[in-house]
Amino acid sequence: MKKCFSVIAPLAVTMLAVTIAASSTPNFTGEWKLNLAKSDYGPIQQFAPEFMIRTIKHDDPALHISTHQKGAQGEVTTELDYTTDGKLSENKGSKGTAKWDGEKLVVDSVRDLQGNELKQHDVWSLSADGKLMTVNSHLTAQGGEFDILFVFDKQ
């Protein structure tokens, strides 16, 4: 019996550690509304949307993002699919990767914007209570670099 316990106990501890590690990444599933008062569009404030709703289906590693927004360019809906394992994903007009960095999700993408390449580096995080999603976005284009802070409230 003692020999059996000495084999099972380490195995149980290992399984528990794997379960805890796997559950330490947040789940972004839900409908998220952009909080314009808390967000910061920096040097492109004039292009901030009137509203933005982001609907996310997150069944790790699958991540589907549907964004509907209205602004100066009219109403636009985009659909993006990634896997959080760092593999390249191709979407309409863009390609990129998503991967975990601890409890943060890092999404790197490249797209063509009117003949110019736009690179975007996003770092997603979720508040402890799961009601606030923050996306720190660094954009690089031919004209320079700038940062945008998106803050979303869970609906």
**Per-residue pLDDT tens over the stretch 31-40:** 999 999 999 9
pTM of the model: 0.83
Return the amino acid letter for 127.
S
pLDDT of residue 3: 57
**Which segments of the chain have a pLDDT < 70?**
1-23
Other Cβ atoms within 10 Å of 38 Cβ, number = 13
Mean pLDDT score of the chain: 89
- Looking at CATH, the fold of the domain delimited by 27-154 is given as Lipocalin (2.40.128)
pLDDT of residue 133: 98
Q: How far is CA 12 from CA 3, 23, 24, 89, in A?
A: 15, 17, 18, 36
Is 128 exposed, middle or buried (CB count within 10 Å of its CB: 0-12, 13-18, 19+)? exposed
Q: How far apart are the first and last CA of the chain?
A: 53
